[in-house]
Amino acid sequence: MQVTETLSDGLKREFKVVVPLADLATKVDERLVQLKDQVRINGFRPGKVPVAHLKRLYGRSVMAETIDASVREANAQIVTDNGFKLVRDPQVKLPEDKESIEQIFEGKTDLAYTVALEILPPIELADFKGIKIERLTADVADAEVDEAVQRLAEQSRPYAAKADGAKAESKDKVTIDFTGKIDGEPFQGGTGGDVALVIGSDTFIPGFEEQLIGVAAGDKRTVKVTFPQTYPAQHLAGKDAEFDVTVKSVEAPQEVKIDDEFAKSLGLESLEKLREMMKQRIGQEHAAMSRQKVKRKLLDELDARHKFDPPPSLVEDEFNNVWKTIQDDLQARKRTFEDEGTTEEKAKEEYRGIAERRVRLGLVIAEIGERNKINVSDEELSRAVMDRARQMPGQEQRVWDFYRNNPDALASLRAPIFEEKVIDFILELAQITDKTVSKEELFKEDDEA
C-alpha cells in the first residue's frame, strides 16, 4: 500500500492511497477459498467447488467486499500511523468514471482513491491547581422554611361548597366545563370538563380567571381572552379566543391550621418533621444553585485557559443547532431581531461565538476525561435510565426499552454524567473558597451582579 499526503491545511488532511492489484487479488483468492466450505452448489460436493468456478459466480461481489475492507484497513492505518483523532468518519472518494471502476472490479488495475480527514487539534491542558473560584453558599433561614410550609398548606387547603346562588370571589375554587373557539370554530386542546380552578391562581390564560368573579353554580358565561404572544402552542399565540363556560360548583377556601395534625395528614410524624423535610429540600435547591454557579465560573476559567481553533465542521453543526433554536423562538413569539435590539448579522456573530465556545469546552472536557480515565459506568447509566423511567409512571418498561434499543438516546444520558464527573475532578484540584451569602444573592442572575 502506498500513501501520499496531498493536503495539510489547518485541521484538514487529504491522502492519496494506492492498494496494489496483487494485494487485492491475494485477498480475493483468500476469501474465495473460505467460501469453498460455506457455499452449496448443485453438482459439487461440499468443499470441492473449484475456486475458478466460485470466482465466476461470486468474483464481483467478493471484489466489492475486498475493496471495502481494504479501504477501511488503509484509512485505519493512516489514522494510527499519524496519531490522528478524527472529528468524523473519513470521506473517501473513489474514481468517478465507469471505466476505471470496471477495471478495478475486474481485477485489472490497482485500487486508487483519495481520503479526506478532519482531525481534532492537539490540546495542551492547563494546570487546574492554579484555578481559583469563589463558591457562593446560603444557609436556610427559618423564614424560608415558614414560607415553604405555608405554600404547602395553601396547596392542601380544603374547600367547602358555598350556599346556593352564592357568587364566586377571588380565592374561591370553581369547577367548570369549557369549550374554546377561535373565529367561531372550536380548536384542539380548547375543551375541558370538571376542571377545578382557583380564581386568582394565574393558572389559566391571563384575563380568564378574573371574568369568573361573580358567577354562581349553574351559570353560563362567555369568557373572552387573547393568548399571549409567548404561548407555547405556536398556532394559538396572539390569537383572540372565546370560551363558553359552564359553572358546575363554587367553593370557598377553608382555614388551614399548621400543626402536628396537618403534618400527619401529609404522612409525617409531626410539624417538626415536616419543617425538617422542607429545610432539607430548600437546602438541596441552594446546593443546586451553588453548583450551577460554580460550574459556570469553572467553565469560564477553562475557556480562558484553553485557546485553540476548534474543528470548523463541529462549530458549524453546533451553530446550526443554536441558530435553529433562536429562529424557532423568535417565530413562536412573533418577534424580530430588531425587536430584540439587534440585527441578524450581529446575532449570528454572537451565536457563532457561543457555538465555538461550546465546541472548544466540549473538546477540553473530553480530553480531561480521556487523560484521567474518567468513565461513566454501566451502573451509573442504569440509574440515569431508571430516573427517567420514574418520571413516567406506568411506562417504565417502555422507557427502559427505548434507551436500551437506541444508542444515541443512551449517549444523550451518558454525556451529562460524564461532564459532571469531569467537573468534580477539576474542582478537587482547583482552589475553591466558600462564601456565605443571602438567598437573594445566591439566586441573583449573574448579569445582575
pLDDT one-digit tens code per residue, 307-366: 999 999 999 999 999 999 999 888 877 789 998 999 999 999 999 999 999 999 999 999
Domain identity same for 22 and 103: yes
Domain identity same for 287 and 232: no
Beta strands (DSSP E) in 20-170 are: 91-93, 111-118, 132-137, 159-161
Cell for 48? Answer: 470441492
Domain identity same for 243 and 302: no
In a domain, 123, yes or no: no
Q: Which long-range contacts (CB under 8 A, 24 or more apart) does 388-393 make?
A: 388/413
Number of structural domains found in the chain: 3
Question: pLDDT by residue (tens digit) across 359-398?
Answer: 999 999 999 999 999 999 999 999 999 999 998 888 889 9
pLDDT of residue 45: 66
Domain boundary among 63, 96, 118: 118
Domain identity same for 212 and 313: no
In a domain, 135, yes or no: no
* CATH number, domain with residue 219: 3.10.50.40
* Strand partners of residue 222: 244
* CATH number, domain with residue 308: 1.10.3120.10
Dihedral sign for Cα atoms in the order 285, 290, 293, 298: negative
- Answer yes or no: are the C-beta atoms of 121 and 364 closer than 8 Å: no
| pLDDT higher than 50, residue 198 | yes
Average pLDDT over residues 147-169: 93
In a domain, 414, yes or no: yes
C-alpha pair distances (Å), 300 with each of 106, 307, 369: 59, 12, 18
Domain boundary among 255, 290, 315: 255
**pLDDT averaged over every residue in the chain:** 92
Q: Angle formed by the axes of helices 344-371 and 407-429, to 10°?
A: 80
In a domain, 142, yes or no: no
Provide DSSP, 136-177: EE----HHHHHHHHHHHHHHT--EEEPPTTPPP-TT-EEEEE
* Strand partners of residue 434: 135
Identify which of 430, 410, 273, 423 has the alpha carbon closest to the alpha carbon of residue 362: 423
* CATH number, domain with residue 32: 3.30.70.1050
Domain identity same for 289 and 390: yes
In a domain, 132, yes or no: no
Domain identity same for 281 and 416: yes
The length of the chain is: 449
Domain identity same for 181 and 307: no
In a domain, 207, yes or no: yes
3-state SS, one letter per residue, for 175-210: EEEEEEEECCEEEEEEEEEEEEEECCCCCCCCCCHH
- Return the H-helix or E-strand segment holding 360: helix 344-371
Print the domain residue range for 15: 2-118
Q: What are phi and psi of 258, to 5 degrees?
A: -85, 100
Secondary structure of residue 400 in the 3-state scheme: helix
What is the gyration radius of the CA atoms in the chain, in angstroms? 33
Domain identity same for 188 and 245: yes
Domain identity same for 298 and 387: yes
Identify which of 19, 28, 118 has the alpha carbon closest to the alpha carbon of residue 73: 19
Q: Count of CB atoms within 10 A of residue 311's CB?
A: 21
Question: pLDDT by residue (tens digit) across 270-302?
Answer: 999 999 999 999 999 999 999 999 999 999 999
C-alpha pair distances (Å), 110 with each of 20, 67, 89, 113: 5, 11, 24, 10
Which amino acid does the sequence have at 325?
A: T
Domain boundary among 206, 221, 255: 255
- Return the H-helix or E-strand segment holding 388: helix 378-390
Domain identity same for 79 and 177: no
Domain identity same for 426 and 282: yes
Residue with cell 426499552: 401
Domain identity same for 182 and 293: no
pLDDT of residue 189: 86
Of 43-52, 133-142, 358-367, where does mean pLDDT reach its minimum?
Answer: 43-52
Q: Is 197 exposed, middle or buried (0-12, 13-18, 19+ CB in 10 A)?
A: buried
Q: Count of CB atoms within 10 A of residue 431's CB?
A: 12
In a domain, 261, yes or no: no
In a domain, 41, yes or no: yes
| pLDDT higher than 60, residue 448 | no
